[in-house]
Amino acid sequence: MDNFVVSARKYRPVTFDSVVGQSHITTTLKNAIRTNHLAQAFLFCGPRGVGKTTCARILAKTINCQNLGDDVEACGECESCISFQNNASFNIHELDAASNNSVEDIRNLIDQVRYPPQTGKYKIYIIDEVHMLSQAAFNAFLKTLEEPPGYAIFILATTEKHKILPTILSRCQIFDFNRIQPKDIAHHLADIARKEGIATEKEALELIGQKADGGLRDALSMFDLNVTFSTDNRLTYESVLENLHILDYDYYFKITDALTSGSIARSLVLFDEILRKGFDGHLFVVGLLEHFRNLLVCKDPATVTLLQVSESAERKYVEQSALSEMSFLLSALSIAGQCDINYKSAKNQRLHVELCLMKLANLPGILHLDSLPAVDETAKKKVEPQPVTTATPVNSENRSTGTSPDGNTQSVQQSSARPNAAQPTAAQPTAAQPNAAQPNAAQPSQAASAPSRLKNTVPLSMTAPPSGPAKETVVKPQAETPVSHARKEALTLESLQTAWFQFAEKRKQAGNSTTEEITLNKGFSLNGKTIEIALDNTHQLEALQNARYDLMGFLKSRLDAPDLDINPRVAPQEVNRLPYTPAEKFNYMAEKNPYLLELKQALGLDVDF
């Protein structure tokens, strides 16, 4: 039986052109060799397993090649190339600084540098993990690095560039290696699989590419692992999922489908399935956040490139993104983000995630209330105390026949509203003005009004606890907020103050924190299109930052000021120290009553320290 050689070694690139995903570096190096402008010290930075050492070795081999081709690639046939290939070349020295980081090790290296190469033109010194060198070793190295003999080339490699001393950095030509794109990794793996005679599914390789997070060596190890596990020399998507213990992203698509259709039940069952498979709840939440993020970047053609997924997945994301509303995604990100932050401190973590899912499933119902009529300020006062009557059927009918392009969420939201207590309350204002509903809902400005709707909804759904009665508070202020004003007010300090006050009131009713209430009651001034607000401390600043998104959204929805901005400042704290030492106490008292000083002088008193 042949010795098994891991793919990372067996398929280590031997020419510049075969290096995966670092063309910016290989091209530069090749040009430098071609024009004879090779630096004598290089620093290769980048994550692990992206080809730093490989590139260093290729460089060493190439510049020593005796018959270098026009394409600036080593021939692989000359004496020098063969000795490199057999790891028998005397012209390359590798030092692992992680285990050889003392001054002695560096002195040994410097001693070797003194001797010119016996064969070939250059001696190459590769120092891996160079950031691990001790301070003294660094210092011992500096001189040699600055003025190396003409035949010596140093290649320092590190994963942590920030730990390298500036004196070293300034002496090196720095190359930053990229994380390798999942697509490139998958492509490379497919090549290897073909050579090894392994049947693979494209999705399986793309999955490995993603899981490797830019590191080709990791990807190759995973590839080997999966090949070892497979009994029939086949790599399927399912087997890779299982072997690498990855949560199938299909689950996120399914859960999102359930959430956008308002199905709490389906989302909970799916979550249960995920837990049963042995996945951690927190990982699930993080994955869900990433999923929402991916859907969000699909919304705009300009950001689709930020989607780092396989091609088949990309299609799915674009499809689901088209079906999910922007307002839903933004709110969902916010809610799931909160869940992520608080996960560790939750006593019952499963329930914590489940609550998050419930809130998310509830979102479509809440968001769509806003596409209903804007209720008049005066009318709403009358509406509120009215008992719930026949509102429900009218309401739901209106909604399901709305002209939203997203039929999906609309039709299901009735069912989402049903299980919670919110519906009757939510229905009230609609019932009071059923006529106003039609013209408004018929407006094609669905997409345009989406963000403003969102801003009105997020904080409420987030701050309110998700218990039954609390839902009423979740939805009630919703209806009071006239969202789509036909005409916005011009931006003046007065109109701003009015809108600001309304927002503060709304938050108060939603049960905001005391700090936020105080913060929102602070005075402010208007400087052009910027609100200048002075705060007392960082707590207030934090509260304002938390509310900022909703606040600005609300103000912009009221005022004709799309580029309105806010500039919060924390006023420097007044030093209000209490007198502590006797001298301080005396000075403090003397300040209040100058006669004390006279008394002290007259009687020749002294302060007892």
Using the rule CB under 5 A, which residue among 25, 33, 50, 65 binds Zn ion? 65
- Centre a 10 Å sphere on the Cβ of residue 110 and count the other Cβ atoms it contains: 16
- Residues 564 and 376: their CA atoms lie apart, in Å, by 25
Work out the angle at residue 315's Cα, subtended by the Cα atoms of residues 312 and 320, and round it to the nearest 5 degrees. Answer: 130
Please count the residues of this chain forming the interface with Zn ion, following the rule CB under 5 A. Answer: 5
- Of 241, 165, 171, 147, give the one whose Cα is nearest residue 201: 241
Least distance CB 121 / Zn ion (angstroms): 12
Q: Residue 82 or 605: which CB sits closer to Zn ion?
A: 82
Which range of residues in 81-89, 273-281, 438-446, 533-541 is near Zn ion by CB under 5 A?
81-89
Least distance CB 96 / Zn ion (angstroms): 27
174 interacts with Zn ion by CB under 5 A: no
* Sign, Cα dihedral of 508, 511, 512, 517: positive
Q: Residue 81 or 535: which CB sits closer to Zn ion?
A: 81
Least distance CB 44 / Zn ion (angstroms): 23
In 221-301, DSSP assigns E strands to 234-235
Which range of residues in 73-81, 133-141, 367-375, 450-458 is near Zn ion by CB under 5 A?
73-81
78 interacts with Zn ion by CB under 5 A: yes
- Residues 492 and 558: their CA atoms lie apart, in Å, by 12
Q: Are 366 and 474 in contact (CB under 8 A)?
A: yes
In 387-523, DSSP assigns E strands to none
Residue type, 239: S
Q: Residue 75 or 275: which CB sits closer to Zn ion?
A: 75
Using the rule CB under 5 A, which residue among 6, 32, 39, 75 binds Zn ion? 75
- Of 263, 431, 274, 262, give the one whose Cα is nearest residue 363: 262
Q: Residue 74 or 330: which CB sits closer to Zn ion?
A: 74
Work out the angle at residue 204's Cα, subtended by the Cα atoms of residues 201 and 210, and round it to the nearest 5 degrees. Answer: 145
85 interacts with Zn ion by CB under 5 A: no
Least distance CB 38 / Zn ion (angstroms): 17
Would you mind telling me the total number of residues written for the chain in this entry?
Answer: 609
Q: Residue 26 or 62: which CB sits closer to Zn ion?
A: 62
Which range of residues in 79-87, 290-298, 383-391, 437-445 is near Zn ion by CB under 5 A?
79-87
Which range of residues in 36-44, 80-88, 154-162, 583-591 is near Zn ion by CB under 5 A?
80-88
81 interacts with Zn ion by CB under 5 A: yes
Q: Residue 84 or 328: which CB sits closer to Zn ion?
A: 84
DSSP state of 176: E
Which range of residues in 64-72, 97-105, 484-492, 591-599 is near Zn ion by CB under 5 A?
64-72
Work out the angle at residue 194's Cα, subtended by the Cα atoms of residues 193 and 195, and round it to the nearest 5 degrees. Answer: 90
60 interacts with Zn ion by CB under 5 A: no
Q: For the CA atoms of the chain, what is the radius of gyration?
A: 34
List beta partners, residue 508. none
Distance of alpha carbon 472 from the chain centroid: 33
Longest Cα pair distance anywhere in the chain, in angstroms? 107
* Interface positions with Zn ion (CB under 5 A): 65, 74-75, 78, 81
